[in-house]
């Protein structure tokens, strides 16, 4: 498995792990990385500019860190739970 590094000193490995070169947080998946960005893609200034969420904002969204300190999103887990609920419905529970 290859390991990537950043000038901030972060090291990470794995195919889906991503590191933000703007805020230097490491994300366990593309989904988590996407979730930490907010605003309009084409704006570089103003309240709706494209930027990274702060740590407090990520926590507010329900994101958390795994044991390696990588940010994870709970959204994927939620969708799995929803999928299971649908399966149970189909089975007549
Ligand atoms: Zn960032
Ligand atoms: Zn970095």
d(CA 92, CA 42): 48
d(CA 72, CA 46): 28
- Of all ligands present, the nearest one to the C-alpha of 53 is 1
Distance of CA 8 from the midpoint of ligand 1 (Å): 13
d(CA 84, CA 14): 27
Distance of CA 21 from the midpoint of ligand 2 (Å): 5
Q: What is the pLDDT of residues 26-70, one digit of tens each?
A: 999 988 999 999 999 899 899 899 999 999 999 999 999 998 899
Distance of CA 22 from the midpoint of ligand 1 (Å): 5
Q: Give the CA angle between residues 30, 33, 39 to the nearest 5°.
A: 125
Report the predicted TM-score, pTM, of the whole model to 2 decimal places: 0.73
Distance of CA 88 from the midpoint of ligand 2 (Å): 43
């Amino acid at each position: 498995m290859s390991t990537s590094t950043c000038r901030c000193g972060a090291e990470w490995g794995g195919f889906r792990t991503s590191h933000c070169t703007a805020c230097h947080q490491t994300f366990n998946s593309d989904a988590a990385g996407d979730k930490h960005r907010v605003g309009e893609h084409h704006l570089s200034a103003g309240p709706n500019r494209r930027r990274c969420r702060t740590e407090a904002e990520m926590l507010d969204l329900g994101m958390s860190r795994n044991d390696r300190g990588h940010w994870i999103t709970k959204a994927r887990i939620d969708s799995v739970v929803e999928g299971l609920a649908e399966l149970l419905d189909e089975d007549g529970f």
